[in-house]
Amino acid sequence: MQIFELHFNPKSAKDRVFDTFIYEPENLYEKRLGNLYMAGELEKQLLRNPRFLSEFAGVMKDEYYSSQLKNTPEKNLTMALKKANDFLDEEAKRGNVGWLGNLNFALINYNDFAINFTKTGNIKIVLIRRGDFLDIGENLETQSDQTYSLKVFGNIASGKLAPADKLLVLTEEAFSVISQNGNFLKQLDATKDEKGLKEIISINKALFAEISGICLLMLVSQNTQPKRALTFRKELPMFSFRELLMKSLRAVKIPQPPQPRIISWKPKQILLVAFLILLLALSFIFFKK
């Protein structure tokens, strides 16, 4: 499976922030729990903490991989969502309520074609299979009406992917534009690899120019090992020869001359040396006589 992160015109969304997060197992114990893929958006951005989304994702990731031996991916995902609800509850109690009603977030756990997923807010989880375009996250939303007793995440759905499936996580604006373009969906359905996706991006530049949002795309193949393949951002930073040169110079390690070794004597060591010198001197005098 190949993973693609598509970020469209982030600077034009002045009142929104969005991001994608990919977490892969770091050891054999985590590998049995599979990968975590997340995408989030905050509308009407009034948060004091600009790193809210990354911290929120990190809380779920840490909790998910905290118990590696005893539990199943489903059980660990339930634990992670409970931790996420607790995190949001604490944020609200501290007065950080800018996310209330403005948080759109999706989480997918993938492990050898099996998926578990959940979402909250106006974000879409879409499956493309043999020409069908299915909103599989449609009935997952659950949010309490109580302001300070929150349960943003609740329902978890499970399923099995097949080779040639495409799974997308889309913010609402990206979904609205892409879902109305039949040609793009047909092209995406026929895409098999990174090269094909790059061709689609090139062909549909005008379409993508209308979008401010994100699309997390998964191309399923016989190779079950996920591969992070491409990050696409509409606005690319300018290339700088000066920055490249500075990075190269920082990477060069200049050998340092050997430093003189300073020997520090303790009082007991000084007395012992003095005694040995005295003993040697007396022996010399004795044998000389």
Is 170 a residue whose pLDDT tops 90?
A: yes
Q: What is the pLDDT of residue 229?
A: 47
Q: What is the pLDDT of residue 95?
A: 84
pLDDT tens track for 122-161: 999 999 998 888 999 887 764 443 333 346 776 899 999 9
Across 72-81, 224-233, 272-281, least confident range:
224-233
**Percentage of the residues of the chain whose pLDDT score is greater than 70:** 72
Q: How far apart are CA 201 and CA 4, in angstroms?
A: 12
Q: How far apart are CA 265 and CA 269, in angstroms?
A: 6
Q: Which residue did the predictor score with more confidence, 232 or 190?
A: 190
**In contact, 12 and 40? CB cutoff 8 Å:** no
Q: How far apart are CA 42 and CA 52, in angstroms?
A: 9
Is 256 a residue whose pLDDT tops 90?
A: no
Q: Which helix (H) or strand (E) holds 129?
A: strand 123-129
The whole-model pTM stands at 0.73
Q: Where are the domains of the chain?
A: 2-241
* 2-241: CATH number: 3.60.40.10
Structure tokens belonging to residue 198: 């790059």
Band the pLDDT of 264: cuts 50, 70, 90.
low
Measured CA to CA in angstroms, residue 249 lies from 26, 244, 246 at distances of: 31, 9, 5
